[in-house]
Amino acid sequence: MKDTVASLLGEALAKVIAENGADFEPAPIQIERTRDPAHGDLASNVALANGKRLGMAPRALAEALCAALPANGAIARTEIAGPGFINFFLSSDSQGDVLRDVLRLGERFGHNDSGKGHKVQVEFVSANPTGPLHVGHGRGAAVGDSLARILAANGWDVTSEFYYNDAGAQINNLALSVQARCRKLTPEDDGWPEDGYRGDYIVELAEAYLAGEAVQASDKAVTASANADDLDNIRDFAVAWLRREQDLDLKSFGVSFDVFFLESSLYESGEVEAVVQRLIENNATYEKDGALWLRTTDYGDDKDRVMRKQDGGYTYFLPDVAYHLNKWQRGFERVIDEQGADHHSTVTRVRAGLQALKADIPEGWPDYVLHQMVTVMRDGAEVKLSKRAGSYLTLRDLINEVGRDATRYFLVARSPNSQLTFDIDLALSQSNDNPVYYIQYAHARVCSVKRRLGEQGIKVDLDAETVSLDALGEPQEVELLKQLARFPDIVSRAAVTAEPQQVANYLRELAAEFHAYYNAHKVAVDDEDLRTARLALSEGVRQVLANGLDLLGVSAPEAM
Report the CATH number that the domain containing residue 77 is assigned in CATH. Answer: 3.30.1360.70
Last residue of a domain, one of 196, 221, 239: 239
For 78, list phi and psi in degrees, rounded to 5.
-125, 160
* Residue type for position 483: Q
Bridge partners, 248 (sequence order): none
**pLDDT at residue 459, as a whole number:** 86
Q: In angstroms, rounded to a whole number, what is the distance separating the alpha carbons of residues 381 and 196? A: 29
The beta-carbon contacts of 103-106 under 8 Å, at least 24 apart in sequence, are 103/462, 103/463, 103/464, 103/467, 103/536, 103/539, 103/540, 103/543, 104/464, 104/465, 106/543
Confirm whether 258 is domain-assigned.
Answer: no
DSSP notation for 465-515: TT---TT--SHHHHHHHHHHHHHHHHHHHHHHHT-THHHHHHHHHHHHHHH
Does residue 435 sit in the same domain as residue 532? yes
Q: Helix crossing, 92-105 with 475-497: angle to 10°?
A: 60
Confirm whether 348 is domain-assigned.
Answer: no
Confirm whether 143 is domain-assigned.
Answer: no
Task: For residue 73, give its domain range.
Answer: 2-90
**For the chain, what's the residue count?**
560
Can you say whether the dihedral through the CA atoms of 385, 389, 393, 397 is positive or negative? negative
First to last CA, the chain: 34
Can you say whether the dihedral through the CA atoms of 57, 60, 62, 65 is positive or negative? negative
Q: In angstroms, rounded to a whole number, what is the distance separating the alpha carbons of residues 31 and 39? A: 14
Confirm whether 182 is domain-assigned.
Answer: yes
Whole-number Cα distances in Å, 7 to 10, 27, 101, 427, 435 = 5, 14, 19, 44, 37
Last residue of a domain, one of 90, 111, 143: 90
Q: In angstroms, rounded to a whole number, what is the distance separating the alpha carbons of residues 90 and 101? A: 16
110 in Cβ contact with 547 (< 8 Å): yes
Buried b (16+ CB within 10 A) or exposed e, 395-427: bbbbbebbebbbbbbbbbbbbbeeebebbbebb
Contacts of 246 (CB under 8 A, 6+ apart): 125, 127, 129, 132, 133
Q: In angstroms, rounded to a whole number, what is the distance separating the alpha carbons of residues 59 and 71? A: 22
DSSP reduced 3-state for 258:
coil
**pLDDT at residue 381, as a whole number:** 95
Confirm whether 330 is domain-assigned.
Answer: no
Does residue 74 sit in the same domain as residue 175? no
Q: How many domains does the chain have?
A: 3
555 in Cβ contact with 549 (< 8 Å): yes
Does residue 84 sit in the same domain as residue 174? no
234 in Cβ contact with 197 (< 8 Å): no
Q: In angstroms, rounded to a whole number, what is the distance separating the alpha carbons of residues 196 and 258? A: 32
Does residue 76 sit in the same domain as residue 176? no
**Torsion, CA 320, CA 324, CA 329, CA 330, rounded to 10:** 110
* Residue type for position 295: R
Confirm whether 21 is domain-assigned.
Answer: yes
Does residue 440 sit in the same domain as residue 527? yes
* Residue type for position 206: A
**pLDDT at residue 453, as a whole number:** 93
73 in Cβ contact with 108 (< 8 Å): no
Per DSSP, 83 falls in state T
Contacts of 511 (CB under 8 A, 6+ apart): 438, 439, 441, 442, 545
Q: Walk along the chain (560 residues) and give the pLDDT tens digit of each residue.
A: 788 899 999 999 999 999 988 888 888 899 988 888 788 889 999 999 999 989 999 999 999 999 999 988 788 899 999 999 999 988 877 778 899 999 999 999 999 999 999 999 999 999 999 999 999 999 999 999 999 999 999 999 999 999 998 887 889 999 999 999 999 999 999 999 999 998 999 999 999 999 999 998 877 799 999 999 999 999 999 999 999 999 999 999 999 999 999 999 999 999 999 999 999 999 999 999 999 999 999 998 999 999 999 998 898 889 999 999 999 999 999 999 999 998 888 899 999 999 999 999 999 999 999 999 999 999 999 998 777 777 789 999 999 999 999 999 999 999 999 999 999 999 999 999 999 999 999 999 999 999 999 999 998 889 999 999 999 989 999 999 999 999 999 999 999 999 999 999 999 999 999 999 999 999 999 999 999 999 999 999 999 999 999 999 999 999 99
Does residue 85 sit in the same domain as residue 173? no
Q: In angstroms, rounded to a whole number, what is the distance separating the alpha carbons of residues 102 and 543? A: 7
Report the CATH number that the domain containing residue 537 is assigned in CATH. Answer: 1.10.730.10
Last residue of a domain, one of 185, 206, 239: 239
Confirm whether 406 is domain-assigned.
Answer: no
179 in Cβ contact with 210 (< 8 Å): no
**pLDDT at residue 390, as a whole number:** 76
Confirm whether 160 is domain-assigned.
Answer: no
